[in-house]
Amino acid sequence: MKLDPRTTVAIGLTLAILVLFNISIIDREKTISTGKTLFLELAPVDPRSLMQGDYMRLRYVVEDSVPDGVLKEYEKRGYLVLRGDSANVARFVRVHDGESHRQDERLVRFHRQFGRIRIVPDSFFFQEGHAELYEDAQYGMFRFDERGRYLLVGLADTNRVPIEP
Amino acid sequence: MAIDQVPANRRLVEELYANGYLTAAARQAALEFLKPHDQWSLWISRLLLIVGSALALSGVVYFFAFNWSQIPPIAKFASIQIGIVAAVGAASVWGFTRTHGQVLVVGASVLVGVFLAVFGQVYQTGADAFELFTAWSVLILGWSVISNFAPQWALWLAVTNVALGLWWRQAALPSEEMAFLIYAYLALLNGMALAVREWGALRGVDWIARRWTRVLLTIATLLALLVPASTLVMADDPTTSMLVAGIMGLIGHVVLYSAYRHLLPDAWAVSATVLSGCLVLDAAAYRILSSALGDNTAATWLSLGLATLVIFATAMVYLRSIAPKLKAAHD
């Protein structure tokens, strides 16, 4: 069967999309399976819902530990250096300034708008109707792999036990 | 007017019949000639194809939303990818230039968005929704280019608009001074799409010349012009971006008006532009009246009501006066 050029291009594009999709999946799975866990304590927030299902907006306690005046007015994004204490709960160390960091220090990306620091991801998605399960969440559970990439993998209760639906 | 210059249409036939110049059989024959009786079946089959595809796709979306934690991630990802392969596969069998194939590519494009949304939820990357929409826009651009299908481009443009808006809020992080510049970007994006549409239509590209594409793009462009223009006329102390986007909004209205009044006469597009301009004028009236009448809110709102009546009534009278000319030019 001979394909016309339009069909060939369309199939090529589709293959490229699928390859990209699956590379991204394998990448994230690797971070989850090999990564080390760090807990970020949550500040109280309201669960909110959006059209695509339910999600919870997150704020992290560590966002407020950045001392005033460390960041200049124009610095709108950057990395915070965090380190886990004995219970693996993240503590603020400093704002990253391009320097190399210690093995046990982790970099998390933040945005800053109207003077407020926001660590991303700042939302957690769950199935419609599971809101009350997550109401008492105390920690955001992150996994960091050796390349420094990280994912929010779940929420945990006061004893740092992951909340499972 | 010579007889061969009188346009034949349903109204003319009905008028001739009502006045007794045509018999019932002649009227039937004339109408059959003007609008073949099987035209509706083509129309209904197109409509059902589109409604059916939309319902099937939203079914897929809701299925995932509702069974979120019961389905393991791997099953979610696999089933969406199988859906994409099936849609593109069927489209290549039918042919990408035929309506069935084109609708299937739109379906595949929506599934790419579904995949990205599911990906964002499984790996909790939801905060950066702009990345999702940007990826979606980039990934389906190739299909759009080869689709020659206006609904596919409409989907692409909608996704790109959202991507641009979210990027502005989540990644560009503009200062208050610059925040309004997004409307200038959105107006440029949609205005350029409208310009491409008109260019294509003039060069005889059939699929882009459908009437609804002009309607959709004019509305999108006008919205991006109207918001900053009316904000600017109401602002006491406008920021730099309000000035830039607002002035662009005002000029944009004039450009659209002259384009559809003189270059490509179109009564609908002129009316839409004039009515949007009326809203800007109304905002200006509010500003003038509220500063003139100060604390007297009752008087402000009463006179604003009257001003609104005058503005829109004048616009209506004007539009009615130019409508015949535009219609003649259009025919």
- Residues A74-87 have pLDDT tens digits of 777 889 999 999 88
Same domain as A67, residue A6 = no
- Interface touch A14/B123, C-beta < 8 Å: no
Instruction: Determine the distance in angstroms separating the CA of A35 from the nearest CA of chain B, rounded to an integer.
Output: 14
Considering A1-5, A132-136, A141-145, B38-42, the range whose residues carry the highest mean pLDDT is A141-145
Same domain as B305, residue B226 = yes
pLDDT-derived band at A134, boundaries 50, 70, 90: confident
Residue type, B226: L
Residues of chain B with pLDDT under 70: 1-2, 126-128, 327-331
- B125 lies in some domain: yes
- B320 lies in some domain: yes
CB of B119 within 8 Å of any CB in chain A? yes
- B28 lies in some domain: no
Same domain as A150, residue A127 = yes
Same domain as A30, residue A40 = no
pLDDT at A145 over 70: yes
Q: How far apart are CA B331 and CA B317, in angstroms?
A: 22
- B246 lies in some domain: yes
- B4 lies in some domain: no
Q: State how many domains chain B has.
A: 2
pLDDT at A50 over 70: no
Same domain as A97, residue A24 = no
Same domain as B127, residue B204 = no
Last residue of a domain, one of B116, B144, B173: B173
Same domain as B219, residue B160 = no
CB of A15 within 8 Å of any CB in chain B? no
The domain of B288 spans 175-331
- A91 lies in some domain: yes
Please count the CA atoms within 13 angstroms of the CA of B69 that sit on its side-chain side: 12
Same domain as B121, residue B77 = yes
Same domain as B228, residue B129 = no
Q: How far apart are CA A143 and CA A154, in angstroms?
A: 10
Same domain as A88, residue A146 = yes
Same domain as B202, residue B127 = no
Instruction: Determine the distance in angstroms separating the CA of B125 from the nearest CA of chain A, rounded to an integer.
Output: 6
In this structure, what token pair is assigned to residue A88?
Answer: 């693996």
Q: What pLDDT score was predicted for residue A53?
A: 55
Nearest to B281 by CA among B256, B258, B249: B249
- A163 lies in some domain: no
Chain A, nearest residue to B146 by Cα: A6
Same domain as B314, residue B266 = yes
Nearest to B329 by CA among B270, B255, B278: B270
Same domain as B272, residue B164 = no
Chain A, nearest residue to B58 by Cα: A52
pLDDT at A5 over 90: no
Could you tell me if B132 and B116 are in contact, meaning their C-beta atoms sit under 8 angstroms apart?
Answer: yes
Q: What pLDDT score was predicted for residue A132?
A: 79
Q: What are A83's strand-pairing partners?
A: A91, A105
- B151 lies in some domain: yes
Same domain as A53, residue A25 = no
- Looking at this predicted complex, what is its ipTM? 0.83
Same domain as A93, residue A52 = yes
Q: State how many domains chain A has.
A: 2
CB of A152 within 8 Å of any CB in chain B? yes
Cis peptide before A121 (omega within 30 of 0): yes
Chain A, nearest residue to B172 by Cα: A76
Last residue of a domain, one of B157, B173, B189: B173
* Sheet of A36-43, strands arranged across: A59-60, A36-43, A139-144, A150-156
CB of A48 within 8 Å of any CB in chain B? no
Q: What pLDDT score was predicted for residue A143?
A: 93
Same domain as B123, residue B213 = no
The domain of A6 spans 1-34
Same domain as A43, residue A23 = no
- A161 lies in some domain: no
| DSSP symbol at A162 | B
Same domain as A21, residue A46 = no
Same domain as A115, residue A78 = yes
Q: What pLDDT score was predicted for residue B53?
A: 86
Q: Which helix (H) or strand (E) holds A78?
A: strand A77-84
A contacts of B120 (beta carbons < 8 Å): 125
Average pLDDT over residues A81-97: 90
Last residue of a domain, one of B113, B148, B173: B173
pLDDT-derived band at A2, boundaries 50, 70, 90: low
Q: What pLDDT score was predicted for residue A49?
A: 44
Same domain as B155, residue B66 = yes
Same domain as A42, residue A24 = no
Q: What pLDDT score was predicted for residue A51?
A: 42
Same domain as A50, residue A30 = no
